[in-house]
Structure 1
Amino acid sequence: MAFVPSAPAICESGSASQGSASSNPAPLVSRDPYSDPLFLHAADSSSVFLVSEKLHGEANYGVWSRAVRKALLAKNKLGFILGTIPQPVDDEEDSGSWLRCNAMVCTWYTHSSLSCFLSTKVRALSPWTQILQYLPHHLQAPTQHNEQISVMVKESARLAGEFCSRKWPIFAFMDSHHPDIPEPPYPPHCIIGTDESRLVPALQWLESEPCATLRPKDCINGFVGSIEKDGSNVFVDWVKEKQIKIILVVGICTDICVFDFVASTLSARNHGLLPPLEEVVVYSSGCATFDLPHDVARGIKGALAHPQELMHHVGLHMARGRGAKVVSEVSFDA
């Protein structure tokens, strides 16, 4: 990255050796160093506090987030939060500069937040920030304890263990999104190569299980995310190869990822695209969704309330309405 001086650059059309200037001198060109988002001023230290008041939770989130956005916009660093300044590949010239700036923004964000709101990477300060606290896509662990999600992870691990002990096939989706391919209305999440794109620790042992097929997917709908460039579908091929007649579905979020996959799978079955599949079963305790209470949503521009228990049951109800069998218990013969 080339350093841009803080003083205005003076452009003249004459030769300095002649000691003269053009009779029509070019206008002064002032270059704002902050026009380059990778520029760090000498005053931009890691001890900088973006705002005077720290985030105390839901009560001051609206005021705090607006103040932080304005502070980052003034430094031309808001793009690091919104994801509009993508990370260069390692061998590109600006890679080191981007990493330094990103690390600096992380420290600013840390100083302005409470530890319970932080993650290991910069999160969007858009209207979806509050949702990100409650939205661990697929099997990404939540940043704070949530009983419904904890039960989902526990039950998913239990079922996976039972299946593998019987050498039954497992197909596991893992969100692996490309940073430059948005999927509105959802914010950037589970970016390829990050820890978020892996299974939670309770299920990472599946990575070495011969009976498990792991499929990274770059969209909310796992069925669509299984489509290859040549038009083939990895999930469809798996069903046909393993001669699957019944699938048991667990995961997160019940009303988004789970429902989209279930609805697409049932539609494909109904059109004869998934032989010999006969039945899709959704295990209610093996599914979960995120919680965005009404009082929190009211303080976030553009956000919709998403009460966890209600939307979990809405997802299950919709899945049943599409033809899935929803069960509250899964047991195995001794």
Structure 2
Amino acid sequence: MAIATSGLHHVTAIGGDPQRNVDFYLRTLGLRMVKTTVNFDDPGTYHLYYGDEAGRPGSLLTFFPWKGVPGGRHGAGQATTTSFSVPEDSIGWWKQHLEAAGVETSRVRTADSEEALTFHDPDGLAISLVAHPQGDPREPWDTPAVPAERAIRGLHSVTLSVRDEESTAGMFTDGLGLRFSHQDGNRFRFEAGEGGPGTIVDVLVTPDAPQGLVAGGTVHHVAWRVPDDATQRAWRAELAGKGVQVTSILDRQYFHSIYFREPGGTLLELATEDIGFTADEPLLELGRSLKLPPWLEPDRAQIEAALPALNLPDENNPEVAEAIAAREGAAERG
């Protein structure tokens, strides 16, 4: 393998009601909305990006939310758990915080001495918060509901469910340049680069599991990082040369992408990390207005009319939050 990824870029899932999705990920989990746009292949629905302050690669969970979407089925051939990294001493705080919000949780300890809290979002997406024993130096997004010392640092890992690990393992090592870390029963861990939070995929072998169905409450695809366009072009040629059915390079505005499936069935993406979400709006204003690619701008009025309104909390935009606090303070003093 001549080219290797440095870690996860983002995970994209399918959700239901968009406002419910916003409320959970911004208010309950304390992430930041870093881009409000549409599904470029189906502009009748949003594409919502959640992450850290700037939406750095490795911090991102994104959604296509369709109100009334039928529920999917967790099973073989898909990513079945998305895990975030949190500080080591914060699991107890998160358990209280989530249960106060009406979210049922299960507390576990992994074979890697990682303490974790597992739960489901309102649409049934399986989420895990993992406290890595060596810590995570990435800077969090700080909100009144989830203070920085407890906050999510970014993606920790994804778990893929497959019926047989051999061909999937080959794709991760020979196709993505990951290295095998270790095995724990029927769970095989692979890591990119130096390993640690944001670089991990766990392959869970479940021979008797039903075939997964991608719909509401399931992961659509898992994206891995590629530094730039030149590397992506070379990588695409390498994958195609190995017989992998890979798409052409697609412009996603904030990164460029290619897509292909690993042999177990999960859709994977290689996304560049050299553009970013400040390409069309300032850092302090990320996510607050609907952004469309140039080819959809002529249809903006029609698209906006078809999309439900979204209410974002003021703390998603620091300037707005500071202005409101200043006005309230002046009113109290007056």
Is this a same-fold pair by TM over 0.5?
no
Q: Give the structure with higher Rg (CA).
A: 1
Higher strand share: 2
Q: Give the structure, 1 or 2, with the largest relative contact order (CA under 8 Å, sep 6 or more).
A: 2
Structure number having the greater helix percentage: 1
